[in-house]
Structure 1
Amino acid sequence: MSELIAKDAEVVLISLSKLEIRPSQHRVEKTFADIEELAENIKVVGLMHPIIVAPMSEGRYEVVAGQRRLLAVKKIGWEKIPARVVRADLTDSEKYIASGVENLLRRQTSEAEDIQWATKLYKMYGNVKIVSDKTGMSQARVRSLIKYDRLIPELKRLVDDEGVDLKVAIKAQDAATGVDGNVSTDDAISYAREMKKLAGSQVDHITRIAKQNPGVSAKEVIDKGKEAPVAKRFQVTIGANEYEALEKMAQSEGVGAAEVATELITGGLKSKGYLDE
């Protein structure tokens, strides 16, 4: 992964007329959003990160990552742009990976874009570990993102349009799945919209109640789930190495360190049999 966008790759000024945006460009969603704001920012502070390009024939270059930055500098009248030049022999798959990794490192992708990226790579390679190795995302993060495809269309719309977290949507669908394996669309929507407002412990509690009480209405399950204590707070001291590892895992998962710590504790308790699934 790192050799695709190596930091020691040559940075040069390239004429905008020699640049082409090709299908391997990762950021296809909301590409044109906030271009005016980005252009104004670049005008004031300059371009903080060079775009990533790959050589083509006849002195031209393909934009691998940095489509929005390119559009922004065009708006303010630049004729050339700083670009980091990667290997000319990258495959389309490697360019797609490099585009996503560069945006991920700069924290410039939305949840929907990460889902699209991870799902496409998983379909390409068919292996979570390979996708993890090539992108730097943890295997747990990859597994979470590729589960989007199994959501019913109504929950996908809630994730895409209403900001429902992917993990919440997955748990809402699990809660709304009957013993026959069929998903109640109305219940799934109710669970997702309500779970969106709740703490993680309450979301897990509602999911457990729904699984343990098939046939009970979503409203009853939600009301009962809300009766659970929101959380108990305690402090724990860990070593510097462990904290650094926790921070690294949190960054790769795209969440906070506290959420990762909670998931690790919960997973450990379940694996030891002290907490019900």
Structure 2
Amino acid sequence: MPRHGHARTELHVAEASTVQRIPLEQIRVLNPRVRNRQVFARLVENIAALGLKRPITVTPTARGSEAAFEIICGQGRFEAFQALGEKSIPCIVVSANEADRFLISLVENLARRKHSNKDLLSSIQVLSERGYSPREIAEKTSLDVAYINGILMLLRQGEERLIAAVEKGWLPIKVATEIARANDSEVQQAMVEAYETGVLKGDQLIRIRRLIDRRKAMGKRYGQQHHSERMTTPQKLLNAYQAEVRRQRVMIKKADINEQRLLIMVTALRQLLADDYFCTLLRTEDIQDMPKPLADRIHGEMS
């Protein structure tokens, strides 16, 4: 339910709060999660050796419930106390409606651990569906509002491949949104502009080119091709094979053309670098370097 239209509950989890020790039997886990056994075992050992470093966060339940409190954040610590045979656990008690309970859980998890990208994206989407604006989500999660706007647009369009590249850190969110909005010719133009303005470097350009090719051939979502383009007949298999042969022939032809262009460039530069006047001009203009692969090729030709 959107939060607009009702009074906002001001909750500041990071502020100093009174810690209460509450019996475990009075607390319940509303939406329990299955945990990795090894990770949970390490948590139990850590608490047994060092004690509880951070209280769990709970909220009072509605009247008539068997338990007096529900866990907002700290299920693992709560279950570790149960495994250790403890009778009570330190808690921070807050009063919050359903939307604010979700928000508190998200904020505490952001501060407490390195969350997975999938969890973060899911949380951003849920907050948007609950009526929070991109600016409000940015304020609550300490993320840039442009990043939030871009991610929400990519989520709405099902751009799983682009989102994964953004979250891995090698695809700028601005470039990802341009790719999502543009057709093939516009994508090419956007990549040229990004390269010329320095947004993309050489290696990034190659990786993005591969990503765009996979997105075009296999779809925006992972595994999408298997559902929409299954080759169930010999004719489809033959068509796919012939298309791949044509693609490889074109790739070989392009490679030959590029090799010829490179040879011309290397020959021309080799002649220019043998000219003392040209070398003096380069030093005057403070042009002291060139791409290493090209320099190695020229050096090989000259030696």
Q: 6, 10, 15: which one pairs with 1:7? A: 15
Measured on the aligned residues, the alpha-carbon RMSD in Å equals 4.5
Q: 109, 112, 126: which one pairs with 2:118? A: 112
Contact 2:20–2:91 (8 Å) recurs in 1: yes
When residues 181 and 119 of structure 1 are mapped into structure 2, their CA distance, relative to the original with a 3 A threshold, is: farther
CA distance in 2, matches of 1:135, 1:152: 22
> 2:26 maps to which residue?
18
When residues 127 and 169 of structure 1 are mapped into structure 2, their CA distance, relative to the original with a 3 A threshold, is: same
Contact 1:20–1:62 (8 Å) recurs in 2: yes
Contact 1:54–1:86 (8 Å) recurs in 2: yes
> 1:37 maps to which residue?
42
Counterpart code for 1:62: E
Q: Deviations over 1:164-213 (max 9, x none)?
A: 727649768949x852899xxxxxxxxxxxxxxxxx73454237768999
- The SS at the match of 2:15 is coil
- The SS at the match of 1:74 is helix
Superposition deviation, residue 31 in structure 1: 4.1
Contact 2:24–2:87 (8 Å) recurs in 1: yes
Superposition deviation, residue 141 in structure 1: 4.2
When residues 180 and 12 of structure 1 are mapped into structure 2, their CA distance, relative to the original with a 3 A threshold, is: same
- The SS at the match of 1:114 is helix
Residue identity over aligned pairs, in percent, reads 21
When residues 96 and 18 of structure 1 are mapped into structure 2, their CA distance, relative to the original with a 3 A threshold, is: same
Contact 1:4–1:94 (8 Å) recurs in 2: no
When residues 126 and 86 of structure 1 are mapped into structure 2, their CA distance, relative to the original with a 3 A threshold, is: closer
CA distance in 1, matches of 2:137, 2:48: 37
Q: 103, 110, 113: which one pairs with 2:109? A: 103
Q: Which has the larger displacement, 11-20 or 143-152? A: 143-152
Q: How many residues align?
A: 193
Quick check: which has more Rg, 1 or 2?
Answer: 2
> 1:150 maps to which residue?
157
Counterpart code for 2:127: L
Superposition deviation, residue 124 in structure 1: 1.7
Superposition deviation, residue 7 in structure 1: 2.6
Give 5+ residue unaligned stretches, structure 1: 183-199, 225-277
CA distance in 1, matches of 2:202, 2:24: 52
Superposition deviation, residue 96 in structure 1: 0.2
Counterpart code for 1:46: G
CA distance in 2, matches of 1:212, 1:12: 54
- The SS at the match of 2:201 is helix
Superposition deviation, residue 137 in structure 1: 3.1
Superposition deviation, residue 6 in structure 1: 4.9
User: Are residue 124 (structure 1) and residue 135 (structure 2) matched?
Assistant: no
CA distance in 2, matches of 1:14, 1:32: 26
Contact 1:125–1:131 (8 Å) recurs in 2: no
Alignment of 1:245-260 (within 5 A): none
Superposition deviation, residue 45 in structure 1: 0.9
Q: Which has the higher contact order (CA 8 A, sep 6+)?
A: 1
User: Are residue 206 (structure 1) and residue 209 (structure 2) matched?
Assistant: no
When residues 207 and 127 of structure 1 are mapped into structure 2, their CA distance, relative to the original with a 3 A threshold, is: farther
Contact 2:171–2:204 (8 Å) recurs in 1: no
Q: Deviations over 1:252-272 (max 9, x none)?
A: xxxxxxxxxxxxxxxxxxxxx
- The SS at the match of 1:94 is helix
- The SS at the match of 1:125 is coil
Contact 1:172–1:207 (8 Å) recurs in 2: no
> 1:70 maps to which residue?
78
Q: Deviations over 1:4-51 (max 9, x none)?
A: 42533221111111112224x8xx5x6446111111111111110101
Counterpart code for 2:89: I
CA distance in 2, matches of 1:150, 1:49: 39
Counterpart code for 1:80: S
When residues 205 and 9 of structure 1 are mapped into structure 2, their CA distance, relative to the original with a 3 A threshold, is: same
TM-score between both structures, scaled by the size of structure 2 = 0.50
When residues 15 and 212 of structure 1 are mapped into structure 2, their CA distance, relative to the original with a 3 A threshold, is: closer
When residues 145 and 211 of structure 1 are mapped into structure 2, their CA distance, relative to the original with a 3 A threshold, is: closer
Counterpart code for 2:53: M
TM-score between both structures, scaled by the size of structure 1 = 0.55
Counterpart code for 2:157: R
Give 5+ residue unaligned stretches, structure 2: 1-8, 188-199, 218-246, 259-303
User: Are residue 165 (structure 1) and residue 168 (structure 2) matched?
Assistant: yes
CA distance in 1, matches of 2:172, 2:19: 42
- The SS at the match of 2:184 is coil
